[in-house]
Amino acid sequence: MDAVRPRRRPPTLFRQIAARLAAFTLLFAALDVGIVVFTYSRQPESLAQELLTLEATKAQAGGVLSPDLLTGPPGAESWSARYVEPGSPELRRVGETGIDGASTLVDWTRREQTPRGYRISGVRAIDRGEERRWLAMQFEGDGIRPYVPVIVNEIIQHVMLPLIPLSLLLLLFNVFAVRRVLQPLRHAEREVDALEPDNTLLRLSEPSEPREVNTLVSAVNRALGRLDAAMATLREFTANAAHELRTPLSIMQLSLDRLPAGKQRDELQADARHLTRLVEQMLDLAQADALALDGHVAIDIADIGRDVVAAMAPKVFAAQRDLRFESFGDTAAIGHPEAIFRIYRNLIDNALKFSPATTQVEVELLCRDQDVLCRVLDCGPGLPVDTEALFDRFHRLEGSDRVGGSGLGLWIAKNFTEAVGGTIIAGNRAGGGAVFEILLPAPRKGEAEGKIVDA
């Protein structure tokens, strides 16, 4: 069997924007390079002027005034460079354009077509401190290769140098802008993670801007409202259905009691009891999901325990079990009377199902530190190693088919226990069997019994 590959996390919005910005920058740079190359290829005279100026700059940057350091542009078929004095033929050649080379010395460039390509010649002034000399250069070439240094220099100066700081500025702006835009989404994410099934009235706070985030959060709130309405309808249907089934089940049970004694009547009565228990758990399930337990009060859970024992005495007697109830010390706790009653009933009922006949189910109450501990012990086969799964909805232990059960009792007990601020754990007792412990908070000093306190 192939191993399940971990799901690849999608890229963040910031990463996507940064990648698109980098791609746009590269595209713009390529377009700019193309424009530079196209423009200069259509202006050979400008290329010739820039090329001679670039070579003269190399000579001026050299440590000595020697043109022998110049190697010429790449791809030049012939290259010559030398210093000339004022009045030389190279400088007087400027006079052909109406300028007196002897009195007015200027830079000049000339491009001529030759049978093998072109010839470029010209003069550039070289300044070294207060000294000025004139460098005459000439080379022959063909194609665009000799102009590569000029084009590269133009790309560096007019493409790379402006784009690098601009890209960094855009990236910095992208960091601040995207983080600011995503801040409402992160806040909404934290609020979504904080949503709990027990409080379906919570909604996400809707930011005023940006509009797209506001629209998204509003749509989520509307979806939560529809989901809450659907869940309320489902809970109401479950509660109503369970309530309506109780009467016909009671009538059916009375009718079965009037049948002649026999195996068939016993089996029908067992099925009727199972259906009755299932209906009761459906009511518990509906109330565990919807019961508002905001009115927590200081109560004596020993009194509620005695009421549960009295109510379940006929069932315990019919099952040929013993039920012992003991309380030690102060058993006042913070809770909800109906929730505590249902916790007792579900745990005792679970213990009766798994305890052998003629054995005893024990319920103990005692004060421990600042809490009240309720323990329900049985003499059954005990619990598996993984006790956390016991409290999952519809979880059934091995052998549940034999004793009957829907896998809801322990989940209902855990749900009600947590609703009143308590905790429940399960384990195995030393002498064999299972033990369930419920720890409930005790009232603080000055909180009278029956007085509503903060949850």
Q: Encode pLDDT of 343-386 as tens digits.
A: 888 888 888 888 888 888 888 888 877 788 888 988 888 887 76
Shared-domain flag, residues 309 and 422? yes
440 closest CA partner among 376, 343, 372:
372
Three-state DSSP class for residue 135: strand
| Cis check: omega of the bond before 210, within 30 degrees of 0 | yes
Tell whether the model's pLDDT for residue 200 goes beyond 80: no
Query: What's the number of domains the chain is made of?
Result: 3
Confidence of residue 268 (pLDDT cuts 50, 70, 90): confident
Confidence of residue 315 (pLDDT cuts 50, 70, 90): confident
Residue 147 burial by Cβ neighbours in a 10 Å radius (0-12, 13-18, 19+)? buried
Shared-domain flag, residues 66 and 138? yes
Average pLDDT, the chain: 77
**Percentage of the chain exceeding pLDDT 90:** 0
DSSP category for residue 444: P
Shared-domain flag, residues 80 and 214? no
- Residue 454 is assigned to a structural domain of this protein: yes
- Residue 189 is assigned to a structural domain of this protein: no
Structure tokens at 150: 């000029």
Shared-domain flag, residues 228 and 329? no
Shared-domain flag, residues 383 and 412? yes
Q: What is the pLDDT of residue 99?
A: 40
Average pLDDT, integer, range 145-164: 81
**Percentage of the chain exceeding pLDDT 70:** 81
Q: What is the pLDDT of residue 6?
A: 58
Give the pLDDT confidence of 118-151 residue by residue, as tens digits. 888 888 888 877 778 888 888 888 888 888 888 8
Shared-domain flag, residues 240 and 318? no
SS3 content of the chain, % helix, strand, coil (to 5): 50, 20, 30
CA–CA gap between residue 283 and residue 286 (Å, rounded): 5
Q: What is the pLDDT of residue 1?
A: 45
Average pLDDT, integer, range 261-277: 79
Tell whether the model's pLDDT for residue 22 goes beyond 80: no
Structure tokens at 231: 């869940």
Confidence of residue 404 (pLDDT cuts 50, 70, 90): low
Shared-domain flag, residues 232 and 338? no
Average pLDDT, integer, range 246-269: 79
Q: What is the pLDDT of residue 7?
A: 61
Shared-domain flag, residues 323 and 345? yes
Domain boundary among 143, 171, 193: 143
Greater model confidence, 274 or 133? 133
- Residue 171 is assigned to a structural domain of this protein: no
Shared-domain flag, residues 315 and 351? yes
Shared-domain flag, residues 272 and 401? no
Three-state DSSP class for residue 381: coil
Greater model confidence, 168 or 4? 168
Domain boundary among 268, 290, 312: 290
Residue 413 belongs to what domain range? 295-455
- For residue 315, the one-letter residue type is K
CA–CA gap between residue 239 and residue 405 (Å, rounded): 19
Shared-domain flag, residues 280 and 349? no
Confidence of residue 313 (pLDDT cuts 50, 70, 90): confident
Report yes or no: 186 and 12 within 8 Å, Cβ to Cβ: no
Q: What angle do CA 207, 208, 211 make, to 5 degrees?
A: 95
Q: What angle do CA 145, 146, 149 make, to 5 degrees?
A: 95
CA–CA gap between residue 288 and residue 286 (Å, rounded): 6
Shared-domain flag, residues 320 and 301? yes
Average pLDDT, integer, range 264-283: 77
Average pLDDT, integer, range 23-46: 80
Q: What is the pLDDT of residue 447?
A: 53
Highest mean predicted confidence (pLDDT) among 85-89, 108-112, 409-413: 108-112
Q: What is the pLDDT of residue 399?
A: 55
Average pLDDT, integer, range 267-274: 78
Confidence of residue 445 (pLDDT cuts 50, 70, 90): low
Tell whether the model's pLDDT for residue 72 goes beyond 70: yes
Q: What is the pLDDT of residue 335?
A: 81
